[in-house]
Structures are given as C-alpha cells and as structure tokens.
Structure 1
Amino acid sequence: MTAADSVMLREAREAPQVIARQRRENREVVAALAHAIRERRPAYAVTVARGSSDHACTVLKYALETELRLPVACLGPSVLTLYGTRLDLRGALVIAVSQSGASPDVVENVRAARESGALTAALVNVEDSDLAQAAEFVLPLRCGEERAVAATKSYLASLYALLPVVATLTGDSALHTALEGLPTVLERTLALEEHASTLAERYRFAENLLVLARGLHYGVAQEAALKLKETSGIHAEAYSAAEFAHGPRRLLAEGLPLLGFAPADAAATATEAAYADLIAGHADLRSIGPAPDSTLVTPGTGHAVTDTIPSALAFYLFAAHLARHRGLNPDAPPGLSKVTRTR
C-alpha cells in the first residue's frame, strides 16, 4: 500500500466537503448559540478535551481571545473525575470538543458545568453520543465516519465549527468571506501533496523533531507533534517559538531538526525573526504555512483564524507521506485504538 492509499490520507482529502457540509447544515445551531452568548454574556470560556481535540481548543483559545476578547482557560478533566472537585462555572462558556463524544471524563465535566449554570456547547461528530446529550448546544462536526486512528478531518472540522459563531458575534465581513471560501482554499491545499511528500522525505531518518509556532498556529504545532508520534514513531515535541529561545534551545546542540509553522498574521514578524535567528545559528529548520517564504507555502484564506486550517491539512499530507517514506503504515500505529475512554 502506498501513502496515497492510506485511510488517513483519504480522510484528510475529505476536508473541503466536510467544511462545506458544516457551513450548509449548521446554520440554525450557529445562530442559536450566538444568540445565547449575546444574551448570557459569559465572562470567560473554558475548554474541555483530550488529544487532538485539545489541540483544536488551543487554536480556538487564540481565536476567541483575539476576536471576542473573551479569556479562555483549559479545564483539567481529572479535577472532577479523579479529585472529586466540582468547579463553580457559573457565568462561563464551556466548550467541549470530541470526535466520538464518548470519553467519560469530558462528558462528566460538561454535565457538571451545565448543572452549575454554565452555557455549554459540544463540538462532536457522533450526534447521539453521551457528550451531545450532556451539552446545551451541539455543533455537529459533520465528518461522517472517521476510521483512521490518526484523526484528520475531525481535527480540521473542530477548528472550523465554532468560527461561524465568532463571525456572527463580531460581524467581521472578512471572516465571513474567509469561511465561505474555505472549501475552495482547502481544495487548493490538496494540490500541494507532491510538494508535501518531497518535504517529508528529508525527515525519513529523524528520530526526534521539534515543532515550533506562535499564536494561532501553536495548536497546529501541538497537533503536528502528536501525529508525528502516532504515525511515524518520531519523538516530537511542540514549543512556542518564543519559549524555545529559553532552555529548550539547548537541544539544538544535539543536532535535532526543526519544523516550524509560519503564519502571515500579527505573529508573522516575530515568528520570522525567531526562525531567522535559529537558521543563523545553523539550525536545520523547514516551515509550513501561509508566510510567503515558507518551505511549503499554504494558500491564504483572507483571515488569520482560518489560515490555520490549510496549514493543518498540508501537515497531514506531509505526515502521511513521511510514514510511508519510513516504511510504516500510518493507519496502524502500534498500541493505539480509535476511541480512548479516560476518567
């Protein structure tokens, strides 16, 4: 089987259709949730998720904070499920993200948050799941069945699902336009597959890899590090390009390669300067993103918060081909299953 035949890659290629389906079919719940947020005016937001879904929440945190000026914190699910502490979340917007909606710790936290008076919303693919039933509002991801252990289309759908709510609340015409045109931009991103494969080949012998980003793209870097572990067995870790300049930079002395995400938004200048400094110090760094000097330039969407989605899709093309360059099957990572239930 070639990389092109992998379930992971075939599902990633469905992203344009998934996003178009969300845009078409989620209009009513988007309007209802936006209305509830206007009426109840949450003072802050809290996210609840695990794995890839938690990485999507990192991107959503930056989107909510930059677009709505709404502070966002990540809730530790085990505070309730292991330590037995029920948090007072009155006045909060609680956002849970899960492909399966089956993880008991996420479900229990949403149920408790709703009982405490929080406004709860679930971004979930399985619409009759326990999580969907626990939340007040459900934004379906509309992915259809996702069979690959390494999630792709559900992560991309999670990045998108809440953005129409943000656009409705802000009235941002540029964001509305970017959301409307995103399926077309993702089709253009899929055309980069050969380039992504070529870039991946240079990492075929890597055992360790550091993934860097700033701002909105940081959650994409977290997701990239996870996927490199899952599909290629590479020990990869994500760092903020700002934080990397401190202690972690020491790792460059060991010759570790770098993969950076390069934005074209307000973080672009700082990110470019950080990467230029690393390259001047002889770091082996290649980049993915909408910045024009990226190694793999992704199509711009016209808005910072949507630019993350083509970047993530381009990385998935990269990751699937990297696994194949290493003689591995990205659909059968050892020791992993599709649904993980944690408490």
Structure 2
Amino acid sequence: MCGIVGAVAQRNILPILIEGLKRLEYRGYDSCGVALYRDGQLQRARSMARVADLAQAARTEALEGYTGIAHTRWATHGRPETCNAHPHFSPADGPARIAVSHNGIIENHDVLRKELQARGYHFASQTDSEVIAHLIDDLYQGDLFEAVQQAVQRLNGSYAIAVICRDEPHRVVGARQGSPLVVGLGDNEHFLASDAMALAGVTTRFVYLEEGDVVDIQLQRYWICDIDGRPVERPVRTLSGHDSAVELGPYRHYMQKEIFEQPRAVADTLADVLGIMPELFGDGAYQALRQTGRVLILACGSSYYAGLTAKYWIESLARVPVEVEIASEYRYRDSIPHPDTLVVAISQSGETADTLAALRFAREQGMPLNLAICNVATSALVRECPLHFLTRAGMEIGVASTKGFTTQLVALYLLALCLAQGRGRLDDQAELQQLKALRHLPKAMGAVLALEPQIIAWAERFAGKEHALFLGRGLHYPVALEGALKLKEISYIHAEAYPAGELKHGPLALVSEDMPVVAVAPNDKLLEKLKSNLHEVGARGGQLYVFCDRDSAIEPADNISAIRLTEHYGALSPILYTLAMQLLAYHTAVARGTDIDKPRNLAKSVTVE
C-alpha cells in the first residue's frame, strides 16, 4: 500500500521521482522520501508531510542525481515518523552503501532482524522494511543483482522493492512478490514504478513483472530473471492517455471530479455491449457459464458491497444461488467447494492482496471457473483469470471509490443477464428492454447529479454530527452499506447501515434527534414495509433524510426531509441511489474540512494483507 518510483538516466531524475510520487500519493501518504546517488555517495531527503513538502526540502538541500529511488508510505510496521520513512539505508549508522524502498509486509522480519543484529547491524527504524536493506548489504559482494536475488529467497511475505547501491551508480534493481511493480522503458534511461501512471509523460512503454521476478535496469539495457533465477522476457506494452486522468480541471477534489465522470464511465463500459452474450466475459465464457451451478463472489470494501448487490440480481434474474465472501476472511475458514462454482473476483485495481489470495485459494480448492471484474487490463487479477470483464472507469485517484464502484455494478448486472439468458430466463424481447434501460442509464445518472444543490443543504446539517444510521431494504440494503462507508471514509463521521427491518432488533436504541437517519426508499414492493420502519424512527424523535422516487408518496414533515430522484429505475436503481449517497458524503466532508482525496489512515490500492 505504498508507492515506489526508481530511475536511472543521463539527466537529473529528481523531478521525475517527485512527479511520480505525486501521482502515486493516493497509495499512501503517511510519509515520503527520496534517495539519490551523487558524487560517490547516497543522499536522502524524507518528510512527514506530503510530496510537495518533500520536493521543497529536496530543493533546499540541492539534491540531484542520475540514479535514485523514491517512496510514499502507508504505515504498517512503525508509526508515521521520519525514522520509519523510506528509503531505508544500510548501514544505518555510517556512510550508506544500500538504499531500499519497499511496498508490502515481510512476515519473518523479526527473525531476520535478530540475525542481522547479531552480525553487527544497527536498526534505525521500527519497520519490517529495514531488514531488506541490511540483508542485501550483508549479502553484497560486488554485484547488486546477485545480492537482491539471494536476499529475496530469505523473505517471507509480500514485497515490491527498488534498490540502489553506492558502488554501482548506474543501476537500479527491483523485485516483486505479491505487490505490483512495472518497468518503464526509455531511450538510454529506464524506470521502475508501482503503477505505470507514475511515469505518465516520461514513457509509454512498460513491462509488467510477474510474481517472483527480479529486474536489473541500467542506462541502455534491462533484464529479468524469474523466481527460479532463469532469464525471461516479459511482453512490452504500450500505454498512453494517463496524463488527462490526473488533471483536476475545474473540480475542487478528485472525488468530486470522479463522481461527475460516472455517466461517461458507465457509457464507456457499455460501449461494446451490443447484446447480452457470454463473450462479453471473454473466450470460453459460453461454456463456463453453461457449467455454472452456483456463484461465489470474492471482494473487499466497496467491491464487496457491489457483490452483495449482484447476489440480489443473479438470484432473481438467473435463479442461480450466490455466496458473497469478504476476501480477507474466506481463505481462513472451512468452506465447502463445488467444482461447478463460478468464482467472481472483484477489484478496481486488480492488485488487492486479499482478493488475489482468496481467488488462488478457491482455485486450489478445486474451483477452476474464475472470472475477474476489474478496471485495469494489465493487473495481476486479470492475468490470473481465464475470464474477465474490464470496466472502463478510467483512472480513479480519490481513495474513496466512486466510478470504480458503479462500473462494477454495471458489469455484475451484465453477468446476471448472461446467466439468465443461458438458462432460458431472458427472451429476445426482455433482452431488448434490458439493453434499452442500460443505454439510458448515463442520462438517468446525470439527472441524479443535478440534485447536488439539494444534497449540499443536507450536508451542511450533517457536518455537525458525529454519528449516522443508513437504512435500506432488499436490493437497496447494500446501497445503504456503501453510503455509510463513504461517509465514514471521508468525513470521519461514525456511520452504520442496517436492513431497515432490523431497527427494532437493537439499532433503534441509538436513535435520537442528534443521530440523522438516512433511508433509501424506491417505489418497489418493500416500500410500505420501509415506511413502517421510518415511522418507528420518527416515533423516537429521529431525524429522517429520505432519498426516494418521485412517486414514493413520502412527504416532508418536521422530522422528515426528502429528496426525490426523477424516475424509478427498477433493478438498476441501486446505481442511481449510490450517486446520491456519494454526493452526500462528499459535501459533508467539504463542510467539515477533511482531506477528501487522501483520508487519514487509508490508501487506495490495498496490496498488503
């Protein structure tokens, strides 16, 4: 959950490293640092502030160099303090020979630390990462690549590392196991990064490292060895179009920009959907979906709530039983595998460590039908699944997912329709109606975004609160969960979500005039049941904020505020209500003055377990 950038060139690379860190700051922002080779020594600047402050500190210290590495951190081992910021040096108590930036967790760091301390190494941090620097230094005998190859054989856990050595000034060595790392190719210069976006404007040619790879980059060449030490070639991919994704434009925050990009993101995701057909999910999908007797969805965070929504869709439309599992929990319990299970792994980045591990566990249990729903074509998740659907949300910078989530919902709805069609539950007329509804969806989403002024008025009232409840029933309970998560993530208001019928089984004890209650109230078969639940809140003095359809017949009153969406959208309505929830969370956070794009303690790509 950290960002790494490295470079070897014939020009001062400090601006490239700093710009790369700015583009990766969404991956972690507890601290940041840069290390450069200059005049026969390694120099370093570290900051407990943001990358912009690091850039100023580096300029003040007149840092520059042709070889270097940089890092932005999300803390796991050791508090956010300067001594724990990367890059780490070895030796730590004298002129440094080795510098390391690390993303991941080293599970056997205690054993390695004791071993290295016994060999005379002094530790300057509380991190697990520092053991890597000292281990490489201990193994170094004049060839950095060989030292890194030997060192990674001793590491248990997950890592992406970038390493430089004082004695080999035109060389950066990288390695990956469980955390992403990409090589950027230039003319007489090469780069490393956690994400190709870090190198936007620097190069368009990239090589994605596989699990266990070790790479050596120099000015005019690079080479890769696999986990067994054998030289290998990985395909070169040409990527472009990253620059526009990181431009904020007229918006105050990336989250706001990405909320308003959702109609276009959904339209782009549906652009190639000319009909409901299994081939939308890749070659071989027809046979795989025919074999599917049940579905297992694995995901974390917002993606998990997308999976919960899909359970309602798939079971209703296709009559196929669905289990939805939190990926971080799934592989640690005794589950019952079925070979006819379609395992659907959902991840915006495709690098979520828990989801990847859960997918591999499911496969080991004898469930080979694997499908990825992901936003990144080059991700580990997509590479590991024989079937996949690529959403077209574009780059998502804000830590709190918005367009990533809604495009996942679109993909899952298409999966439900394909499963239904394969079981004779979607005839030609129904298919045309579903396609018409999907194509109209971006326009309907735009109408919800037009409600922003009304939602801002609610947000101003929310800003002074410290707790909130979110309620939904049936298909819209996962929407309530997602709404509560968004409010927690960026405004720091404690929020919980419940199926509305569960109020009287405990949560009603929390209701008071100081705790706003947000309800999702579409005009569906559960509306009258939901109204009864809302009366229970009102009878206890609770203040209700209801998102409803134009014809839901919920009238404003002293304790009821209502915002009406322009139309009822049937099975697809969770997508519309999600936008309203996002706007409420966003504007509440604006009113509270929080750091919306980089909320405390969080990071975008969760690449550690």
TM-score (normalised: structure 1):
0.91
User: In structure 1, what residue type is equivalent to 2:563?
Assistant: L
Q: Contact between 1:110 and 1:134, CA under 8 Å: does it hold in 2?
A: no
What do the CA deviations read for 1:179-206 (whole angstroms, capped 9, x no partner)?
1210110111111111111121111111
Distance 2:276 2:381 in 1: 16
- Which residue number corresponds to residue 90 of structure 1? 339
- Which residue number corresponds to residue 50 of structure 1? 300
Q: Contact between 2:276 and 2:414, CA under 8 Å: does it hold in 1?
A: no
- Which residue number corresponds to residue 255 of structure 2? 8
- Which residue number corresponds to residue 491 of structure 2? 232
Distance 1:256 1:317 in 2: 19
Alignment of 1:11-160 (within 5 A): 11-25=258-272, 31-32=278-279, 33=281, 35-36=286-287, 38-40=289-291, 42-78=292-328, 81-82=331-332, 88-114=337-363, 116-160=366-410
Q: Contact between 1:89 and 1:113, CA under 8 Å: does it hold in 2?
A: no
Of 393, 402, 417 in structure 2, the residue corresponding to residue 167 of structure 1 is 417
User: Given the alignment of the two structures, is residue 278 of structure 1 paired with residue 537 of structure 2, yes or no?
Assistant: yes
Secondary structure at the aligned position of 2:469 is classed as: strand
Distance 1:278 1:331 in 2: 33
Q: Contact between 2:254 and 2:398, CA under 8 Å: does it hold in 1?
A: yes
Q: Contact between 1:111 and 1:135, CA under 8 Å: does it hold in 2?
A: no
Secondary structure at the aligned position of 2:360 is classed as: helix
User: Given the alignment of the two structures, is residue 261 of structure 1 paired with residue 527 of structure 2, yes or no?
Assistant: no
User: In structure 1, what residue type is equivalent to 2:566?
Assistant: P
1:98 deviates by 0.6
User: Structure 2: where are the runs of 5+ without partners?
Assistant: 1-247, 555-560
What do the CA deviations read for 1:134-157 (whole angstroms, capped 9, x no partner)?
222111111111000111000111
1:285 deviates by 1.1
What do the CA deviations read for 1:114-144 (whole angstroms, capped 9, x no partner)?
4523422111011111111122211111111
1:90 deviates by 1.0
Q: When the two structures are aligned, how many residues end up with a matched partner?
A: 339
Distance 1:11 1:333 in 2: 16
- Which residue number corresponds to residue 337 of structure 1? 603
Distance 1:215 1:108 in 2: 30
1:164 deviates by 2.3
Distance 1:29 1:132 in 2: 21
- Residue 4 and residue 200 in structure 1: after superposition, are their counterparts in 2 closer, same or farther (change >3 A)? farther
134-143 or 232-241, which deviates more = 134-143
Q: Contact between 1:45 and 1:73, CA under 8 Å: does it hold in 2?
A: yes
Secondary structure at the aligned position of 1:75 is classed as: strand
Q: Contact between 2:305 and 2:482, CA under 8 Å: does it hold in 1?
A: yes
User: In structure 1, what residue type is equivalent to 2:262?
Assistant: A
Of 475, 491, 508 in structure 2, the residue corresponding to residue 249 of structure 1 is 508
1:4 deviates by 4.9
User: Structure 1: where are the runs of 5+ without partners?
Assistant: none
- Residue 339 and residue 26 in structure 1: after superposition, are their counterparts in 2 closer, same or farther (change >3 A)? farther
User: In structure 2, what residue type is equivalent to 1:219?
Assistant: P
Secondary structure at the aligned position of 2:518 is classed as: strand
Secondary structure at the aligned position of 1:225 is classed as: helix
Alignment of 1:163-202 (within 5 A): 163-168=413-418, 169=421, 170-171=425-426, 172-173=430-431, 174-202=433-461
Distance 1:68 1:104 in 2: 30
- Which residue number corresponds to residue 297 of structure 1? 564
User: In structure 2, what residue type is equivalent to 1:316?
Assistant: Q
- Residue 78 and residue 89 in structure 1: after superposition, are their counterparts in 2 closer, same or farther (change >3 A)? farther
Distance 1:76 1:212 in 2: 21
1:165 deviates by 3.1
- Residue 200 and residue 20 in structure 1: after superposition, are their counterparts in 2 closer, same or farther (change >3 A)? same
Distance 2:579 2:522 in 1: 14
User: In structure 2, what residue type is equivalent to 1:61?
Assistant: K
Structure with the bigger percentage of helix = 1
What do the CA deviations read for 1:219-252 (whole angstroms, capped 9, x no partner)?
1111111111111000101111011221111112
Cα-Cα RMSD:
2.4
Bigger Rg, structure 1 or 2: 2
- Which residue number corresponds to residue 317 of structure 1? 583
- Which residue number corresponds to residue 204 of structure 1? 463
User: In structure 1, what residue type is equivalent to 2:380?
Assistant: D
User: In structure 2, what residue type is equivalent to 1:120?
Assistant: N
Q: Contact between 2:294 and 2:321, CA under 8 Å: does it hold in 1?
A: yes
1:12 deviates by 0.8
User: In structure 1, what residue type is equivalent to 2:253?
Assistant: S
- Residue 235 and residue 79 in structure 1: after superposition, are their counterparts in 2 closer, same or farther (change >3 A)? closer
Secondary structure at the aligned position of 1:5 is classed as: coil
Distance 2:587 2:495 in 1: 17
What do the CA deviations read for 1:32-81 (whole angstroms, capped 9, x no partner)?
247345521x2221110001111111111111122222221123434565
User: In structure 2, what residue type is equivalent to 1:55?
Assistant: Y
User: In structure 2, what residue type is equivalent to 1:58?
Assistant: L
1:289 deviates by 3.5
1:30 deviates by 5.0
User: Given the alignment of the two structures, is residue 216 of structure 1 paired with residue 475 of structure 2, yes or no?
Assistant: yes
Q: Contact between 1:26 and 1:139, CA under 8 Å: does it hold in 2?
A: no
Distance 1:256 1:301 in 2: 28
- Residue 320 and residue 30 in structure 1: after superposition, are their counterparts in 2 closer, same or farther (change >3 A)? farther
Secondary structure at the aligned position of 1:95 is classed as: strand
Of 537, 541, 547 in structure 2, the residue corresponding to residue 288 of structure 1 is 547
User: In structure 1, what residue type is equivalent to 2:260?
Assistant: R
Distance 1:29 1:306 in 2: 16
Q: Contact between 1:64 and 1:72, CA under 8 Å: does it hold in 2?
A: yes
- Residue 36 and residue 17 in structure 1: after superposition, are their counterparts in 2 closer, same or farther (change >3 A)? farther
- Residue 24 and residue 328 in structure 1: after superposition, are their counterparts in 2 closer, same or farther (change >3 A)? same
What do the CA deviations read for 1:270-307 (whole angstroms, capped 9, x no partner)?
1122112322332111112334537122233542x210
- Tell me which of the two structures has the higher relative contact order, counting C-alpha pairs closer than 8 angstroms and 6 or more residues apart: 1
Secondary structure at the aligned position of 2:271 is classed as: helix
